[in-house]
Structure 1
Amino acid sequence: MGNVTPNSWTGDGPGVILVAVDGSTTSVRAAAWAGGLARRQGSRLLCVYVAARSALAGLALTVGAEMNLESELDQVAADLGEELRASAESYHVPMEYVVLAGDPVTEIVRLADEVKVDAVVVGASTQAGHRLVGSVAVRLVRMGRWPVTVVP
């Protein structure tokens, strides 16, 4: 995390906008929305991809399958990072991309607090089970630490 600089913004509007991405349609929309906001506000964009490896690794039946899963997650993170960097560069938005492993809510909260972000943007969950357990978006909103925008 040492390469992510804390927020020292003193202007009007958000200085750092954190957007959580995972490659889903709603997270891509969230990244586009956050990028547009960052461009209009002159903000920095902090994109975070959290690989929930522990939950996925439990599904792997063999060590080889677990290693393949890890490499697939790494490739998704790398491809997503390239796309985000290209978009941010084309719109002249300063952007940092961070890849973390663990529970998405825990890692997003830790990073947001560490960097002292002004806003968090996430895509809405499309999984039915999240209505009962609570999606990443709902859990972040309930924490009430920063404004959270949920993009459909």
Structure 2
Amino acid sequence: MTTAYRIVVGVDGSPASIVALRWAFRQAYARGGAVQAVCVWTGDPRATETDAWRGQGEAILSDAITAALANNSRVTISGVTIAGRPADELVRLADGADLLVLGSHGRGRLSRAVLGSVAERCVRMATSPVVVIPPYLVQPAEAAETVTLHEVQLNPSAG
């Protein structure tokens, strides 16, 4: 029994995460695989604003998928919005995946000169291979790009 090539991508709505998502789509298409886009929000899941946090995460995820797909539906994609610590949840969801893909913002102290703190933690903790898309691959046009919210079917049926 064969399992489809599965790529998990961290999405936070930044230009770097959209570039990472585009990279993951190309890899999934080339390998006949699927992409799982993950947006982790850090609010308290028991708080009264849970629905607002979840809604914001879903909007970020939907916008990113729309921007990255650019009307290209050749790859199966699913989306997950979850509360928690971003690195911990990404590593957990990537367990058993073929790749975990992240965009790097390139911010932080010297120890994070290339990787952001989430990317750095994922590289250290993940059991699957991790690909970090460096910030210099984000073109100025992509960084300035604004995305209009569109409804996206996050779990299209295979077929």
Q: TM-score, normalised by structure 2?
A: 0.67
Q: What do the CA deviations read for 1:55-81 (whole angstroms, capped 9, x no partner)?
A: xxxxxxxx9xx84x9626623522532
Instruction: State the Cα distance separating 1:127 from its structure 2 match.
Output: 2.8
1:122 corresponds in structure 2 to 102
Q: How does 1:110-149 map to 2 (within 5 A)?
A: 110-113=92-95, 116-129=96-109, 131=112, 135-149=117-131
Equivalent of 1:31, from 3, 6, 21?
21
CA contact (8 A) 2:37 2:61 kept: no
Which amino acid is the alignment partner of residue 9 of structure 1?
T
Instruction: State the Cα distance separating 1:95 from its structure 2 match.
Output: 0.7
Instruction: State the Cα distance separating 1:91 from its structure 2 match.
Output: 3.5
Distance across 1 between alignment mates of 2:94 and 2:128? 9
Greater relative contact order (CA < 8 Å, ≥ 6 in sequence): 1
Question: Which structure shows the higher helix fraction?
Answer: 1
Given the alignment of the two structures, is residue 100 of structure 1 paired with residue 100 of structure 2, yes or no?
no
RMSD: 3.0
Distance across 2 between alignment mates of 1:151 and 1:104? 17
Q: TM-score, normalised by structure 1?
A: 0.70
Structure 1 unaligned blocks of 5 or more: 1-7, 55-62
CA contact (8 A) 1:88 1:95 kept: no
- Count of paired positions: 128
Q: How does 1:49-68 map to 2 (within 5 A)?
A: 49-54=39-44, 67=49
CA contact (8 A) 2:43 2:53 kept: no
Structure 2 unaligned blocks of 5 or more: 135-159
Distance across 1 between alignment mates of 2:93 and 2:126? 15
Distance across 2 between alignment mates of 1:88 and 1:104? 26
CA contact (8 A) 2:87 2:118 kept: yes
Distance across 2 between alignment mates of 1:103 and 1:149? 19
Equivalent of 1:9, from 3, 27, 33?
3
Distance across 1 between alignment mates of 2:125 and 2:57? 28
Instruction: State the Cα distance separating 1:17 from its structure 2 match.
Output: 0.5
Give the stretch that moved more between structures: 86-95 or 21-30. 86-95
SS at match of 1:53: coil
Which amino acid is the alignment partner of residue 81 of structure 2?
V
2:140 corresponds in structure 1 to none
2:62 corresponds in structure 1 to 81
Q: What fraction of aligned residue pairs are identical, expressed as a percent?
A: 36
Runs of 4+ in 1 over 3 A off after TM superposition: none
